[in-house]
Structure 1
Amino acid sequence: MDAQGPPNTSGSPSPRSEHGLPGVNPLRRPSDSFESWFRRILLTLLVVGLPVVAYTTGTTAYEASMHAVRAQAAQRHEVVARLTADVERNHNAAKQSAQVSWTDAAGVVRTGTALADPGTTKGTPLHVWVSRNGTVTGPPMSTLNAKSTGWVAGGAAAYGMALGIYGLRVGTRLLLDRRRYAQWDAEWERAEPLWSARFRR
């Protein structure tokens, strides 16, 4: 029977330290242990933190967008305006700015600028969105816009976190390798004279 411990049933010798302890790799450096520990931390952050960050950011962006949707829906309304002049024909432009006028709920005639197709004649009705003060504006955001904003924000946050973790991983590896190379150079400077002396004998 082996005096140092039970035989290795796997058929290969068990790694031992300088003290003969099984399971300890004598070539494992402190930097190797730190790198392995740090990689496990980063992996845990990636697995646990990535969905949390993506969901939290996406939900926050969606709720903020829905607030804007409700606010714009309350502040804007659609009216039927009419062109006050013919729109010139221009084959190089899909839409052109044109003057329009409409009568608001209080009976006040208002004017503004809207986009119309080239060649549209005076008096043609156009559906335009206006604000409470009678300014022509764009249509309010839709729920689909809010959902898209949430998905994009969540995806961007997840991508940014993954990129940051990858950068930490690469940066840490570079710093550790730089330290290892310096240690190897210092050890070689101590060992090289001894090797040279042996071969000069």
Structure 2
Amino acid sequence: MSQNPFARFARWLGLDRNPLRRRCDRVEALVRLVAVLGFMAAVVFGMALSVRAYDDGVRTEAQQQRSRHQVTATLVEDVTTPRLSAAGAAVGHAQARWTAPDGVQRTGVVDAAPSKHAGDVIRVWTDEHGTLTPRPQDRETTVVAALTVGTGVPMAASAGLAVLVLLVRTVNQRRARRAWEAQWSVVEPMWRINGR
């Protein structure tokens, strides 16, 4: 038996034209070949989606940089009891006052560090009308989103294809075992007779 990994891989895919392969072996090899081709297609599709997600993210970054503004807000009360943010930092809430980019005075509840008190100044993000908004999307978020899409598609496809290959292999092994048992039940009594 060849130790060449390419020859072993070709044999695993059923590309070696082995005349001893049963029909079920050929079906299993065909399913493995389809799984390998499906994985390769998923990698290409994932890369295309990743590039598209990155381009969309860059456009979102530019649009949000144009439409969102960082302004100075003055706290009008002490920060309330802090809670943990999604990033794991302690954040509290407080009423604040700020001037919108269009010159109108606004008030609202803002996130602030627990150490802030009434009269302290913080920076907040608003749209052009002064409504509080999240900070604009940054490049790191864009890259992470693109990588998530680019790796998620092939990983999901490989998981599904692996389940398919294992399912076909399990069915084939059960059928082969049943066929072997049926053939053995015919041959074994003859061996007993001839053995006496």
Provide TM-score, normalisation by structure 1. 0.73
Partners of 1:117 and 1:55 in 2: how far apart?
40
Q: 1:115-160: per-residue Cα shift (whole Å, max 9, x none)?
A: 2233423322211001244322210111221111101111111211
In structure 1, the gaps of 5 or more residues are 1-22
**In the alignment, structure 1 residue 61 sits paired with structure 2 residue 53:** yes
- Check whether the contact 1:84–1:99 (CA below 8 A) recurs between aligned residues: yes
Q: Do the aligned partners of residues 185 and 108 (structure 1) sit closer, same or farther apart at CA in structure 2, a change above 3 Å counting?
A: same
Tell me, yes or no, if structure 1 residue 29 matches structure 2 residue 25: no
Q: How far off its partner does 1:180 sit? A: 0.6
Q: 1:86 — aligned with what? A: 78
Which aligned pairs between 1:1-201 and structure 2 lie closer than 5 A? Answer: 27-46=20-39, 48-87=40-79, 94-200=90-196
Runs of 4+ in 1 over 3 A off after TM superposition: 23-28, 86-90
TM-score, normalised via structure 2 length: 0.75
| Structure 2 residue runs without a partner (length 5+) | 1-15
Distance in 2 between residues matched to 1:96 and 1:63, nearest whole Å = 35
**How far apart, CA to CA, are the structure 2 residues paired with 1:45 and 1:105?**
52
- Secondary structure of the 1:28 match is coil
Percent pairwise identity: 30
Query: What is aligned with 1:20?
Result: none
Let me know the Cα RMSD of the aligned residues: 2.8
Tell me whether 98-107 or 142-151 shows the greater mean CA deviation: 98-107
Letter in structure 1 aligned against 2:138: S
**Structure (1/2) with the larger helix percentage:** 2
- How big is each residue's C-alpha offset from its partner over 1:169-190, in whole Å with a ceiling of 9 and x where there is no partner? 2111101111111111221222
